[in-house]
Structure 1
Amino acid sequence: MGVVHDVWLVTKQLLEATALPWPAEEREARLVQVDELLRRRGEWLRELRPPYSEEEQRLGCEIVAWNQEIEARLRQVRDEIRGDLRMAGAKRQANARYVHPYEQPLSFDGMFYDKRR
């Protein structure tokens, strides 16, 4: 089968590597693993050349279906990471306000100016 089968195998490994859930403790290691699999698959994809046999076309259809699932899982992980970054930023900002309460600019909401003399 050749290159199509190799792409299929790497895509299957990628599908398994992106299986949810991704605990925060494992996230870095799993991202490294996914990055390596994507790099390897990219190398194999550059070597694909038609024409394809019926078996290779069937494998190609599976690869396309798996790609959609992989992309959805990676989007979910990306959203989780964004949420964690937002929470970390909010905690850092709240901590800075607590530690140095008078260094932040004062809010001028609700300020009243008396125009009478």
Structure 2
Amino acid sequence: MDLIEQLVSCSESLLKVLQHPADKRDKQVEKVEQLLAEREKIITRLKEESRENLNQHPKARKIVEMEQDIQKDLRRLYEDIKMDLKKWNEKKRLRQCYTNTFAHVATYDGRFYDKRK
């Protein structure tokens, strides 16, 4: 199989994984990382070849279009994970406020100091 064919195949499978949200995001992220590493190896090998050969290939346009979709879906996945972390940290903060209600209040235990002599 040609390197460009491998790149197209790997990009299509990555796009498929990104576009179908999984119930278990951990598995989805692992699969995405695996496919990105595989694509990186293929692209590194492709860079060693001549540029003229790559630009004249009939599937070069398809690769560019898929790359834009992949970038968009990766940003969406990143934003989803970012929002989940934000929600989790907010829940954690609220839980701590509930368990230790007066932790953020600076008091002197209700003591009164009379400055008069």
Normalising to structure 2: TM-score of the pair? 0.79
Partner of 2:30, secondary structure, is helix
When Rg is computed on C-alpha atoms for both structures, the one with the higher figure is: 2
Q: How does 1:24-43 map to 2 (within 5 A)?
A: 25-43=23-41
Q: Report the Cα offset of residue 53 of structure 1.
A: 6.9
Q: Which has the larger displacement, 81-90 or 45-54? A: 45-54
Q: Matched residue of 1:103: which SS?
A: coil
Q: Which has the higher helix share?
A: 2
Counting matched residue pairs gives 103
Q: In structure 2, what is the Cα distance between the partners aligned to 1:26 and 1:39?
A: 21
Q: Which residue of 2 aligns with 1:94?
A: 94
**Between the two proteins, what is the percent identity of the paired residues?**
19
CA distance in structure 2 between the aligned counterparts of 1:19 and 1:87, rounded to whole angstroms:
23
Paired position in structure 2 for 1:114: none
- 1:17 and 1:85 map into 2 onto residues whose CA distance is 22
3-state DSSP class of the match of 1:86? helix
- SS of the aligned residue for 1:52 comes to helix
Over 3 Å counting, the alpha-carbon distance change for 1:41 and 1:103 in structure 2 is same
Superposed CA deviations along residues 67-86 of structure 1, whole A, max 9, x for unmatched, are 11011111111111111111
Which consecutive aligned stretches of 4+ in structure 1 deviate over 2 angstroms post-superposition? none
Taking structure 1 as the reference length, the TM-score comes to: 0.79
How many angstroms apart in 2 are the aligned matches of 1:87 and 1:62? 38
* Structure 2 alignment gaps of length 5 or more: 107-117
Whichever residue aligns with residue 14 of structure 2, its letter is L
